[in-house]
């Protein structure tokens, strides 16, 4: 995820829920929280849009046949979640060209580092570009996998993380697929490739947006594939959760789904897209619970209402009605002096927006901004340079609240493998994290 908003410097079926009320959070939204409209060009450019070379690897043979989750480390949503993201880009170092033992040893060290500072939940990227870092009949092998890999990365990571009593949430990007070149080399056995090759579906069901292909959630067959993908993971792996982040609609341009919108008979594009997005989210939630009611389903949306409006993600509804998620982790990657979305006000906004007792809140913070100019933060653009203690102060603010709130850190590499110019500062942050989180 994760530069969740373009302020980053580098870069309906609605069930009635008794006891869950919906209210407008507009009064508590940070003023002027307006963000870029061209999501596909500006969201997460460095973190995850640095596409790897195409892999032509085949599916693995080593499948976990255990269909039940028996080791939930976070057993229910009353427990406070302290999470950390492990993005797919790291597989270029940890997985590519590695043996099973080498991969498992590397991940064991990383998970132990996370656990030592109080992390109890790891979000493991298992599908970033319509690919799979696990044995899948539905999605092509992960782009960072070698063609001769003889082990299952997800199975290895689950086993390793559970030994450290970490809860494992399989992190997927439902709609984002691959580049033109990568799509061409994908095996024809996969439905996404069949849609790409179909002249009627290429441009409707799957759409090229600035060189990247995206699935269109307006189509039932797309939502079915995505929910089937969730079922496949929960049914075959001992995961404790399914986790999605802020990759919803990639553009506000009408060409993306013009034909589907015209055929729908609807007149309000914004409302229609929101409905499509929510139907997709609900299908994923339902698929998770159908396979195993104890497995959590969580969403990590953008940090402001405007950012979510630009992607047609109806976070207000997901926070106020049951049946869409068990927890929500807004990406509040802002400093305290950010002009458009100051950290404290933004956290308070989200806390007020959670009106359904079935939905728990965790706050996403980042470490990668330390030592960098925050270009779109206005007067606060130099805050992360002048104050290298911001993540610690943010955790202190969150943990000081009367109502328990979770904390999730983006990401492992920026925290434990920082750039040379911020190594000392990050070492201090890691020490502080351990003191603040481990005692909770």
DSSP 421: G
Q: What is the DSSP string of 338-388?
A: -SSS-HHHHHHHHHHH---TT-EEEEEEESTTTTS--GGGGGGTTHHHH-T
The residue whose two tokens read 């959590």 is 296
Strands (E), 57-163: 82-86, 121-127, 131-132, 140-141
Distance CA 246, CA 282 (A): 15
230, 151 Cβ separation under 8 angstroms: no
Q: Which two tokens stand for residue 4?
A: 């969740």
In the prediction, which pLDDT does 440 show? 56
In the prediction, which pLDDT does 146 show? 82
Q: Does an H or E element contain 409, and which? A: strand 406-410
CATH class for the domain made up of 26-438: alpha beta
- Of 408, 332, 322, 2, which is closest to residue 173 (Cα–Cα)? 2
Q: Which two tokens stand for residue 53?
A: 């070379």
User: Domain extents for the chain?
Assistant: 26-438
Distance CA 146, CA 98 (A): 9
In the prediction, which pLDDT does 256 show? 98
In the prediction, which pLDDT does 200 show? 97
Q: Consecutive sets of 10 residues in the chain, 440 residues long: mean pLDDT of each?
A: 40 39 42 40 36 33 38 52 97 96 98 98 98 98 89 98 98 98 96 98 98 98 98 98 97 98 98 98 98 98 97 98 98 97 98 97 98 95 98 97 96 98 97 88
| Sign of the dihedral through C-alpha 78, 84, 87, 92 | negative
332, 304 Cβ separation under 8 angstroms: no
Per this entry, what is the length of the chain? Answer: 440
Query: Could you tell me where the DSSP H helices lie in 49-201?
Result: 91-94, 100-116, 153-163, 180-185, 191-197
The pTM for the full model equals 0.86
In the prediction, which pLDDT does 79 show? 80
Question: What burial class does residue 150 get, using C-beta atoms within 10 Å of its C-beta: 0-12 exposed, 13-18 middle, 19+ buried?
Answer: exposed
29, 304 Cβ separation under 8 angstroms: yes
- Of 82, 18, 81, which is closest to residue 355 (Cα–Cα)? 18
Q: What is the DSSP string of 233-295?
A: HHHHS--SEEEEES-S-----GGGGHHHHHHHT-S-HHHHHHHHHHHHHHHHHHHHHHH-TTS
Helix, strand, coil percentages, rounded to 5, for the chain: 40, 15, 45
In the prediction, which pLDDT does 18 show? 35
Print burial letters for 361-373: b (CB count within 10 Å at least 16), e (below 16): bbbbbbbbbbebe
Q: What are phi and psi of 243, to 5 degrees?
A: -135, 130
């Amino acid at each position: 995820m994760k530069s969740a908003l373009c302020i980053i410097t580098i870069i309906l079926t609605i069930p009635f829920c008794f006891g869950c009320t919906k209210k407008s959070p507009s009064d508590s939204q940070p003023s002027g929280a307006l963000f870029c409209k061209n999501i596909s060009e500006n969201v997460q450019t460095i973190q995850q849009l640095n596409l790897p070379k195409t892999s032509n690897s085949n599916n693995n043979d080593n499948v976990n046949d255990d269909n039940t989750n028996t080791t939930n480390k976070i057993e229910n949503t009353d427990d406070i979640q302290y999470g950390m993201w492990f993005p797919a880009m790291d597989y270029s170092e940890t997985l590519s060209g590695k043996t099973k033992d080498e991969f498992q040893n590397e991940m064991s060290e990383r998970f132990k580092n996370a656990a030592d500072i109080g992390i109890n939940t790891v979000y493991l990227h298992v599908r970033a570009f319509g690919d799979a870092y696990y044995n899948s009949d539905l999605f092509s092998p992960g782009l960072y996998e070698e063609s001769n890999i003889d082990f299952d990365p997800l199975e290895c990571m689950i086993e390793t993380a559970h030994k450290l009593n970490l809860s494992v949430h399989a992190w997927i990007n439902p709609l984002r697929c691959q580049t033109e070149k990568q799509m061409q080399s994908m095996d024809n056995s996969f439905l996404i490739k069949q849609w790409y090759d179909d002249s009627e579906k290429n441009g409707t069901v799957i759409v090229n947006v600035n060189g990247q292909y995206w699935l269109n959630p307006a189509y039932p067959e797309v939502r079915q594939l995505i929910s089937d993908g969730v079922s496949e993971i929960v049914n075959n792996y001992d995961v404790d959760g399914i986790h999605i982040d802020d990759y919803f609609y990639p553009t506000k341009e009408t060409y993306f789904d013009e034909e589907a919108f015209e055929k729908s008979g609807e007149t309000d594009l914004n409302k229609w897209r929101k409905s499509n997005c929510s139907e997709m989210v609900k299908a994923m939630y339902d698929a998770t619970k159908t396979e195993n009611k104890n497995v959590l389903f969580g969403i990590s949306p953008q940090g402001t209402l405007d950012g979510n409006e630009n992607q047609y993600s109806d976070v207000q509804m997901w926070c106020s009605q049951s049946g869409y998620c068990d927890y929500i982790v807004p990406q509040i990657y802002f400093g305290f002096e950010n002009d458009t979305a100051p950290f404290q006000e933004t956290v308070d906004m989200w806390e007020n927006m959670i009106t359904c007792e079935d939905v728990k809140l965790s706050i996403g913070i980042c470490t990668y901004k330390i030592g960098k100019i925050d270009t779109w933060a206005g007067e606060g653009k130099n805050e992360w340079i002048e104050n290298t203690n911001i993540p610690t102060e943010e955790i202190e603010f969150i943990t000081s609240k009367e109502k328990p709130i979770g904390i999730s850190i983006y990401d492992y590499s920026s925290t434990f493998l920082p750039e040379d110019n911020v190594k000392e500062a990050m070492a201090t942050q890691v020490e502080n994290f351990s003191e603040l989180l481990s005692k909770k």
